[in-house]
Structure formats: C-alpha cells, structure tokens
Amino acid sequence: MYGRRDVLRTGAALGLMAASPWLYAESAPGLLTRKIPASGEALPVIGAGTSGSFEVEPGSAQYQQLQQVLKAFFEGGGKVIDTSPNYGGADAILGQLLEEGRWHRQCFIATKIAADSAAAAQEQWAGTLKSLRTDKVDLLQIHNLRDWQRQLPYARELKAQGKTRYVGITHYLASGQDDVTEIVRKEPLDFIQINYSVNAPDAAKTLLPLCHDKGVAVLINRTFDDGRLFAKVKDQPLPGWAAEAGISSWAQMFLKFAISHPAVTTVIPATGRPDRQLDQLKAGLAPLLSEAQQQALIRQFA
C-alpha cells in the first residue's frame, strides 16, 4: 500500500508530467504509464515476472508470501505479469493466485509459446489456458525465438480467434538482439520482450530506437541481471543524485534506468517478497532519469 508521503510525491509528479502529456500518463495510484503503440492502451511501467520467484508449492509459506506480493502489486497500480509454460509451474501458481484474489480482470497476462512443432504448440496452449485459469490472454510471445517461423503465424491465428489481444517475441541475452532486430524489421509485431539493464545496455543502440520508430511495445526482462546486480552493489551507497531522482534503493535505481528509455513500455522484475514488491512499485513514479544519470550508471557498471 502507498503511504501519505507517496501520495504527496505523486501529486508533485503530476505537476511535472503536465509538461509532457504525450509521453506519460498516470494510473492510480501514481504509477507512470506508457501506451501500446498498436492500440493506444496504457500500461503501467512497472510490471512483474514469475520466473523462479513463482516456482513454489501451492499452500507453502512462499505461496502465502506471493499472495501478499500480488496484493501489493495490484493495490499499487500494477497490471502486467509475465509468465511462461516452461517456468516450472509458475504459470499455474499465477493462475491459482489470480483466481483466489479475484485479480484476473485487473491483470494483463503475458505468456509464451515455447514449442518445436505445431502439435506441441497446440497442446501447450491448451495447458496454458488451464494453468492460468482463463479462456484468453493479453499477450502471447514466442519464447526465445524458438521455432518462431512456425509459431508466430500460430500466435497470430490465436489473435484472430480472440484468444490473445497482442502477439510478440522474446529473448533474454544481448547476443540474441541482432536476430530480434531482424525480425522487428520485417515482421509486424505488437510487442517484443528483451533484456536491458545498467550492465547490459546494448539495446539502446539500435533495437529500442527501431521499436520506437516502428510502433512496437517493449517489455524488459532481467533488469536486475537475474538478481546478480544486487551482489555488485552490496555495501555501495546510492549515487549522490539518487534522492533528486526520487530513488531510495538500488532496486528502484535499476528499474528507473530501464523505464527511462522512451521506447520501453513496461519492465517486469521478478520477486517473491512483498517488501521488495512495494519497493519496486516506487520506481514507477516520476521523475525519470536524465540522459546524464543513465550514462553515469552505464559507466559505473561497465
């Protein structure tokens, strides 16, 4: 839940954003949003991932923590949650949590096809709907470009049937971004999902500007380098300018770096801890980082 101080800060943020209404909008209670170019639909800039953090046993102590994570997420204005049928049961845990919390209608569900044949993809899709406890999703992505020439047309077929509202492709390494760039150049896509972080900022050179120009929405994974960035900043103070950027933790710093690129729609950090979820949501409040602040971070983590 947001405290009074956050609400006051949000009010101040509203004033700041009046200067650039074409780029940013507000979603209650104060998270910045970005529009999906294909539709104009606004999404909050802070989303959530499920890899690892949602791979828990139903009813376990970690499961109960995830109930609190999602409560904090939705009450804090979050919407986009990314999962996959090959995340060790994370999608089924997400489906159960959404049903128990009655959050399906608030959630923008992004999931994937990770299969190598038409038959495998069809079977997987049936399982996905069952796991997520829904009859449709919001975004269906081809996982790591796997068999994408066959699976992208299948995802489009499902879109035409109203089973998904958007289609996209994903990768998680800088080494995969040349292939992603090639596909963005020649295929119409609603979304891509890629890695982008202070220690892996390559996407800003070509791929992110290309998505901006072509009107492709962008989800960002591995903003914490799968958690490794926290070990790098252990015992390190935040930069002196953090407070003026509205930042009080390294998690907020890493997330704000990602959403400060104007081509980025939503960043999807994973956590299984409610306190971390609350902290992450604070990164979605204005102001964003200046170009100089972004470059200082890239130099620090190079």
Ligand X SMILES: NC(=O)c1ccc[n+]([C@@H]2O[C@H](COP(=O)([O-])OP(=O)(O)OC[C@H]3O[C@@H](n4cnc5c(N)ncnc54)[C@H](OP(=O)(O)O)[C@@H]3O)[C@@H](O)[C@H]2O)c1
Could you say whether residue 270 binds ligand X (CB under 6 A)? yes
Q: Which is nearer to ligand X, 214 or 276 (CB)?
A: 276
Q: How far does Cα 117 stand from its chain's mean position? A: 27
Could you say whether residue 269 binds ligand X (CB under 6 A)? yes
Could you say whether residue 37 binds ligand X (CB under 6 A)? no
Q: DSSP character for 287?
A: P
110 token code pair: 């992004």
The CA-CA-CA angle for residues 97, 100, 104, to 5°, reads 70
Residues sharing a CB contact under 8 Å with residue 105, sequence separation 6 or more, in sequence order:
none
Q: H or E segment at 32? A: strand 31-35
CB 20 → ligand X: shortest distance, Å? 28
Q: Choose the stretch contacting ligand X; rule: CB under 6 A; options: 24-32, 55-63, 96-104, 269-277.
A: 269-277
192 token code pair: 């891509």
Q: Contact with ligand X (CB under 6 A): which of 10, 53, 96, 252?
A: 53
Q: Would strands 31-35 and 25-27 be described as parallel, antiparallel, or unpaired?
A: antiparallel
* Binders of ligand X in range 118-157 (CB under 6 A): 143-144
CB 17 → ligand X: shortest distance, Å? 26
Could you say whether residue 282 binds ligand X (CB under 6 A)? no
* Binders of ligand X in range 66-95 (CB under 6 A): 82
CB 216 → ligand X: shortest distance, Å? 16
Q: Which is nearer to ligand X, 27 or 86 (CB)?
A: 86
CB 221 → ligand X: shortest distance, Å? 3
Q: Contact with ligand X (CB under 6 A): which of 10, 111, 164, 271?
A: 271
DSSP string, 204-270: GTTHHHHHHHHT-EEEEE-TTTTTHHHHHTTTPPPPTTTGGGT--SHHHHHHHHHHTSTT--EE--B
Binding mask 240-259 for ligand X (x = CB under 6 A): -----------x--------
d(CA 184, CA 191): 9
CB 251 → ligand X: shortest distance, Å? 4
Q: Which is nearer to ligand X, 131 or 170 (CB)?
A: 170
Using CB under 6 A as the binding criterion, the count of chain residues that bind ligand X stands at 28
Residue number closest to ligand X, CB atom? 49
Neighbours of 288 (CB within 10 A): 23
Longest CA span, the chain: 55
127 token code pair: 């399982």
Q: H or E segment at 90? A: helix 90-101
Q: H or E segment at 195? A: strand 191-195
* Binders of ligand X in range 217-236 (CB under 6 A): 221-227, 230
3-state secondary structure of 15: helix
CB 18 → ligand X: shortest distance, Å? 32
Q: Choose the stretch contacting ligand X; rule: CB under 6 A; options: 10-18, 115-123, 216-224, 257-265.
A: 216-224
Given the rule CB under 6 A, which residues bind ligand X?
Answer: 49-53, 82, 143-144, 170-172, 193, 221-227, 230, 251, 268-273, 276
